[in-house]
Amino acid sequence: MKLSYFHVAEDVPDALVPESAVVIDVLRATTTIAWALHNGADSVQAFADIDELKLSSDKWSSSKKVLLGERGGTKLEGFDLGNSPLGVSEDLVKDKRVFMSTTNGTKSLHRLRESKNLYTMALANRSAVAAKLINDRSSEVCILGSGWEGAYSLEDSLAAGALVCFLLNELDNVKVINDEAMAVIALWDSWKHNIEGCLRIASHGQRLARIGNHDDDFACCSKLDNLSVVPKQIEMGVLRAS
């Protein structure tokens, strides 16, 4: 298995369409996706463009959909939910499609939408996603962070390191093929015993702290391997538990 990691969507080579891909946005999109599906959402449909989200969601009855929108860390006006894993409770999302657009994570999903196997990962479902990749016998896996408006993200790289290290420990045939993937191994080794601390010192963690009390989000997003759900793209832009 060949592993590569890219910090943001813009870093992925134009010609690269990997066999398997994993998108990470720890704070908070992929954590929210994992919890939404764990809590019974039928699916999550991700949009980089808000107008496209509205056009698509208008075709669904209000009883079968939830609108989740965030920009700059805050909920968008007119949406049901902001981008928090604590908001996608079972009573709100069960059996519904979550129409989702966030500042960063949905862009990364869009970039790798043509991958044969496309998954999203948070720290919460790290081992479950790793097991899926192993079961797929994927020969090439591209791991993509979401960053912040095109810039590097510490917390996404930390989660990428958690995944790379897990796969290295489980398989004999893993080859790390770019420097970015090598670097996240060292990052994970440095912070694996203080995950929440790393999320809090990250620039986006500090940004969230400035705009409100997100202690519960930090606690939720820093939990490791406590969910078994694996979000997988089942049609363009649509994720379902696999």
Distance, CA of 120 to CA of 238 (rounded, Å): 11
pLDDT at site 160: 98
pLDDT at site 107: 86
Distance, CA of 120 to CA of 25 (rounded, Å): 8
- Please answer whether residues 67 and 87 qualify as being in contact, where contact means their C-beta atoms are separated by less than 8 angstroms: no
Handedness of CA 134, 138, 20, 199 (dihedral sign): positive
SS3 216: helix
The full set of domain ranges for the chain reads 2-241
CATH superfamily of 2-241: ComB-like (3.90.1560.10)
pLDDT at site 72: 86
CA 216 to chain centre: 18
- Please answer whether residues 13 and 110 qualify as being in contact, where contact means their C-beta atoms are separated by less than 8 angstroms: no
One pLDDT digit (tens) per residue for the chain, 242 residues: 999 999 999 999 999 999 999 999 999 999 999 999 999 999 999 998 999 999 999 999 999 999 999 998 899 999 999 999 999 999 999 999 999 998 777 889 989 999 999 999 999 999 999 999 999 998 999 999 999 888 899 999 999 999 999 999 999 999 999 999 999 999 999 999 999 999 999 999 999 999 999 999 999 999 999 999 999 999 999 999 99
Using CA atoms, how far residue 30 sits from 24, 38, 230, in Å, is 6, 12, 11
Quick one: three-class SS letters along 125-151? Answer: HHHHHHHHHHHHCCCEEEEECCCECCE
Distance, CA of 234 to CA of 116 (rounded, Å): 10
Token duo for residue 73: 């860390």
